[in-house]
Amino acid sequence: MNPKRLAILGSTGSIGTQTLDVVRQHPDRFEAFALTAHNSVGKLIEQARQFMPEVVVIANPAHYQELADALADLPIKVFAGEEALCDIVRMAEIDVVVTAMVGFSGLRPTISAIEARKTIALANKETLVVAGQLMTDLALKHRAAILPVDSEHSAIFQSLVGEDGNAIDKILLTSSGGPFRHFTSGQLLSVTCEQALRHPNWQMGAKITIDSATMMNKGFEVIEARWLFDVAPRQIEVYVHPESIVHSAVQFADGAVKAQLGVPDMRLPIQYALSYPQRLPLEGDRLDLFALGQLTFERPDLDRFPCLRLAYEALEKGGNMPCIVNAANEVANLAFRQGQITFPQIAEHIACAMQQVAFVPCPTLADLFTTDAEARQCPLPRS
Ligand code: MG
């Protein structure tokens, strides 16, 4: 069997590097055919020399020369720019496109890959948040499979294997609760970016770690689950589960609940998306329920973590509302990391954008780009 050829978009980020870890463990199964990064040119050079892909792309063209010079002695094709990303994912040799880039920028290359009928290993959840209806319609039309890489959605997906035709009654979406689970509203006023970046269970990129602290990440995952598994928002229930062992669960018509459990390790959902329906060996820690002793669950507090409520509201409202939330969140998340706004102001800014930006009930792709640009113009709250 020939190895599956992967295009890893965002190969230098947290998911990207862990995907390459999986490739390293199974060189007979997977091949890194294309590697791309936005700005991390040094790391991309290092990865290219190690994995010898056919193609590398640096999205920011300012780094093109440095990349091309560093790889001049190797038979690796070097490209730059957003357009190149959309072009390379269409290459005939590629079997699977791993979408591990951050935010709205993932939209165009993912569309391009779906149109080229590639299997999508989806890590860029913002794509489904912004354009869930369009993306799922497009995937259906081109018969492109979208396999989840997000640990919760992978757990749901794994729980659904063998359940063809059995309707989902409810999805139990688990959340660690983030680093501020026990903080009072008063304490949340003065939390710092440094505190927010210390996630208790998962090592992730900066943007998603802040999204986890606000629980906007969980809100996005509710939206992602709605589109991946075709369920209504009210069928998705969030459970705060600080141990991050139950990665999510599905309840069926007879009351049976199936879950996937394991130690928090992103390489498992990444590998499963690549090897599905097969399971391959994976080195790493094993779950020890005796050592854990107990697993705990609590309801999320939507007053202290209003981002989760805003996500549910956006999903119920539909249209371009989730796109507005995503753009406002990208701006506010960055502003918080740069010390321009306080932690509670992230949610304030998003709520404000939801009021200000024009609502479009059935947006086209062009509408979504307009919405995204408009939402990014909303003025930040004063800190
Ligand atoms: Mg997740």
Measured CA distances, 220 to 126, 286, 326, 329 (Å): 7, 29, 8, 11
> How far away, in angstroms, is 378 Cα from ligand 1 center?
28
Q: Look up the CATH number of domain 4-148.
A: 3.40.50.720
> How far away, in angstroms, is 175 Cα from ligand 1 center?
8
* Pick from 144, 118, 90: nearest CA to 4: 118
Does this model's pTM top 0.85? My answer is yes
| Cα dihedral 93, 96, 101, 104 sign | positive
> How far away, in angstroms, is 9 Cα from ligand 1 center?
18
> How far away, in angstroms, is 152 Cα from ligand 1 center?
5
HSE-CB of 297 using CA atoms within 13 angstroms: 11
Rounded to an integer, what distance in angstroms lies between the CA atom of residue 32 and that of residue 46? 13
> How far away, in angstroms, is 67 Cα from ligand 1 center?
32
What is the helix, strand, coil percentage profile of the chain, to 5? 45, 15, 35
Q: Which of 11-15, 100-104, 113-117, 147-151 is predicted least confidently?
A: 100-104
* Pick from 35, 292, 273: nearest CA to 155: 273
> How far away, in angstroms, is 173 Cα from ligand 1 center?
9
Rounded to an integer, what distance in angstroms lies between the CA atom of residue 45 and that of residue 66? 9
> How far away, in angstroms, is 145 Cα from ligand 1 center?
19
Rounded to an integer, what distance in angstroms lies between the CA atom of residue 223 and that of residue 311? 7
Q: Which of 43-47, 92-96, 156-160, 178-182 is predicted least confidently?
A: 178-182
> How far away, in angstroms, is 64 Cα from ligand 1 center?
32
Model pLDDT for residues 124-170, shown as the tens digit of each residue: 999 999 999 999 999 999 999 999 999 999 999 999 999 998 999 99
Model pLDDT for residues 292-311, shown as the tens digit of each residue: 999 999 999 999 999 999 99
> How far away, in angstroms, is 150 Cα from ligand 1 center?
5
Residue span(s) of the chain under CATH 3.40.50.720 come to 4-148
Which helix (H) or strand (E) segment is 34 a member of? Answer: strand 30-37
Q: Bridge partners of 147? A: 121
8 Å CB contact between 225 and 173:
yes
> How far away, in angstroms, is 328 Cα from ligand 1 center?
20
> How far away, in angstroms, is 73 Cα from ligand 1 center?
39
Confidence of residue 198 (pLDDT cuts 50, 70, 90): confident
Residue 383 has pLDDT above 90, yes or no: no
Residue 202 has pLDDT above 90, yes or no: no
Collapsing DSSP states into helix, strand and coil, what is residue 244? coil
CB-based contacts of 24: which residues, under 8 Å, 6+ apart? none
Rounded to an integer, what distance in angstroms lies between the CA atom of residue 338 and that of residue 341? 8
> How far away, in angstroms, is 49 Cα from ligand 1 center?
31
Collapsing DSSP states into helix, strand and coil, what is residue 250? strand
> How far away, in angstroms, is 123 Cα from ligand 1 center?
9
* Pick from 143, 140, 106, 142: nearest CA to 123: 106
Model pLDDT for residues 319-359, shown as the tens digit of each residue: 999 999 999 999 999 999 999 999 999 999 999 999 999 99
> How far away, in angstroms, is 180 Cα from ligand 1 center?
17
Residue 203 has pLDDT above 80, yes or no: no
8 Å CB contact between 8 and 32:
yes
CB-based contacts of 299: which residues, under 8 Å, 6+ apart? 239, 240
